[in-house]
Amino acid sequence: MKDICDEFGNVVNSLARQRCWSVIAGKGSGSRVGIDIGDKVRRRKPIENPYLSIEQQHFRGKFRLSIEDCAWRLNSATEIICASTSDNANEGPLVRGLQRIVGVYIKSVEFSFPTFDLTVNFSNGLTLYLFCDQCNSFDLANNYSLTYLDQMFVIGTNSQLSKLYLSLPV
């Protein structure tokens, strides 16, 4: 576990000074969110989805933070911007709030052990908190995943960390 935890920590630390250039969220995805970070990597096959920009259809981030079933919150020093329970209508507070991190650099990232709760601090003063609260052994829901090129670190039920290698075209 120590080796995979160290690898995860190295990837998390690599997020600092990277730019968030895409957020995918809204009515079709519930409270799930995809955040593309770092250099743009051309997809082998574009995604044909009219709700995505041309850029999102043809590129993915060198890093991708996929918020799956955990609770999360984005706030400034003075207010809550949006959270996993916010209205996710395509022009609603969840989508509008998350757009505030697009084009913004990550200042620092921290995770806690053994829960793997994640805190992402942005250069514009906003902070994204992920709370790993998926503990139901029946549903086996993932909290979040962090993809770096062809490696995916998954924080699953009960904050179990696993690592997958992606071989599918992305």
Note down pLDDT in tens along the chain; length 170 residues. Answer: 569 999 999 999 999 999 999 999 987 777 799 999 999 999 989 988 888 899 999 999 999 999 999 999 999 999 999 999 999 998 899 999 999 999 999 999 999 999 999 999 999 999 999 999 999 888 789 999 999 999 999 999 999 999 999 875 55
107 occurs within a structural domain: yes
Residue 159 lies in domain: 2-165
Question: What is the number of structural domains in the chain?
Answer: 1
pTM for this prediction: 0.93
Instruction: Give the C-alpha distances (Å, rounded to integers) separating 133 from 36, 87, 114.
Output: 23, 20, 12
Distance between first and last Cα of the chain: 28
Domain-embedded: residue 170: no
Q: Is residue 23 part of a domain?
A: yes
> Does 119 reside within a domain?
yes
Would you state the pLDDT for residue 146? 98
Counting beta carbons within 10 angstroms of the beta carbon of residue 62, is it exposed (0 to 12), middle (13 to 18) or buried (19 or more)? middle
Q: What Rg, from alpha-carbon coordinates, does the chain have?
A: 15
